[in-house]
């Protein structure tokens, strides 16, 4: 399979044609290389970096510098996949100018193809300004982890009439502002469907049901490497964490029992050279 990077305007056509978009996260070169070998169209260098890689309790302490540092190796590792750089908390919520400056940094210093930001109608002016500056924007509504304390925690969103209606208005406003896609996190499946029917740009769901135009998962969740907390919407496609722990334990045991390294792992020197050494 020869993979080519999907041009960003094609995502809207894919939605029209009923083709699903696939996105996973990556934060380093190694994982990016693996994703690039697959059909997955998009890699999100998400601010989930905070929990998954940096060991933080949430995403809000992640900085623009952290994001740039992790976007760079992902861009190197996956030249045939669209790379989305996540704008971290505090890098775009002041005003549109700050949002453009931060997006410019992710693209210029990190090398990503586009950026993602969280929020609805109140973020539409930032989306519009970044798009006008020439950078494609992916929006993110529903459960927005950066403002989860305002939402009352990590809860399913859009369960009552008022908030479901508001979310549909938000999706429309973000589309009007020029976003090329919108991540929809943690909403009832029926609302994921309604949202997807309400706009022409693709929705990419995470805990938003099967009728979104695409799906995204955090890689470490889906391969079973991050088990501090496994949300209901995650399907674990592998148990990589268990495999790694087993390998570490085998290594530790073999070293202790002096079974590793074996002769096949050793280098030799000629006897006559060795004799002269003493
Ligand atoms: O940061 C992230 O990984 C995300 C996904 C959960 C969509 O925003």
Q: Is 48 in the pocket of ligand 1 (CB under 6 A)?
A: yes
Predicted confidence at residue 205, as pLDDT, reads 98
Predicted confidence at residue 252, as pLDDT, reads 98
Q: Is 86 in the pocket of ligand 1 (CB under 6 A)?
A: yes
Return the best residue to mutate from 67, 87, 183 for the ligand 1 pocket (most ligand atoms within 8 A of CB). 183
Predicted confidence at residue 179, as pLDDT, reads 98
CA of 6 to the centre of ligand 1 (A): 20
DSSP string computed for the chain: ----PPPTTHHHHHHHTTPPEEEEE--SHHHHHHHHTSS--EEEE-TTHHHHTS--SSSTT--HHHHHHHHHHHHHH-TTSEEEEEPPTTSSSS-HHHHHHHHHHIIIII--SEEEEE-SGGGHHHHHHHHHTT--EEEEEES-GGGTTTTTSS-----SHHHHHHHHHHHHHHHHHT-SEEEEES--HHHHHHHHHH-SSPEEEESS-TTSSEEEE-HHHHTT---S---TT------HHHHHHHHHHHHHHHHHTT-SS-GGG-----HHHHHHT-
Enter the CATH code of domain 10-239.
Answer: 3.20.20.60
Predicted confidence at residue 1, as pLDDT, reads 67
Ligand 1: residue whose CA is nearest its atom 2: 46
Predicted confidence at residue 154, as pLDDT, reads 86
Predicted confidence at residue 4, as pLDDT, reads 97
Predicted confidence at residue 207, as pLDDT, reads 97
Of 118, 170, 175, 185, the catalytic one is 185
List where CATH 3.20.20.60 sits in the chain: 10-239
Could you read off the pLDDT tens digit of each residue along the chain, which spans 278 residues? 699 999 999 999 999 999 999 999 999 999 999 999 999 999 999 999 999 999 999 999 999 999 999 999 999 999 999 999 999 999 999 999 999 999 999 999 999 999 999 999 999 999 999 999 999 999 999 999 998 888 888 889 899 999 999 999 999 999 999 999 999 999 999 999 999 999 999 999 999 999 999 999 999 999 999 877 788 999 999 999 999 999 999 999 999 999 999 999 999 999 999 999 87
């Amino acid at each position: 399979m020869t993979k080519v990077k999907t041009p960003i305007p094609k995502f809207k056509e894919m939605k029209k044609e009923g083709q699903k978009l696939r996105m996973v996260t990556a934060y380093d070169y190694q994982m990016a290389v693996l994703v690039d070998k697959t059909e997955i169209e998009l890699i999100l260098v998400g601010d989930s970096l905070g929990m998954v890689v940096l060991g933080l309790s949430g995403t809000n302490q992640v900085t623009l510098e952290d994001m740039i540092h992790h976007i760079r190796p992902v861009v190197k590792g996956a030249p045939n996949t669209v790379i989305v750089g996540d704008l971290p908390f505090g890098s775009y919520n002041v005003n549109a100018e700050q949002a453009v400056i931060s997006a410019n940094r992710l693209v210029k210093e990190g090398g990503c193809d586009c950026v993602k930001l969280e929020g609805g109608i109140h973020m539409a002016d930032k989306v519009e300004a970044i798009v006008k500056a020439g950078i494609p924007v992916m929006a993110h509504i529903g459960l927005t982890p950066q403002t989860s304390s305002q939402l009352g925690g990590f809860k399913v969103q859009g369960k009552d009439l008022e908030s479901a209606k508001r979310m549909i208005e938000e999706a429309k406003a973000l589309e009007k502002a020029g976003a090329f896609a919108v991540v929809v996190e943690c909403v009832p499946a029926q609302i994921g469907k309604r949202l997807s029917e309400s706009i022409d740009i693709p929705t990419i769901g995470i805990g938003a049901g099967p009728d979104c135009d695409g799906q995204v998962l955090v890689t470490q969740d889906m391969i079973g490497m991050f088990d501090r907390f496994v949300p209901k919407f995650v399907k674990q496609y592998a148990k990589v964490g268990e495999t790694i722990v087993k390998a570490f334990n085998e290594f530790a045991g073999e070293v202790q029992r002096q079974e590793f390294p074996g002769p096949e792992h050793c280098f030799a020197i000629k006897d006559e050279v060795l004799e002269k050494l003493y």
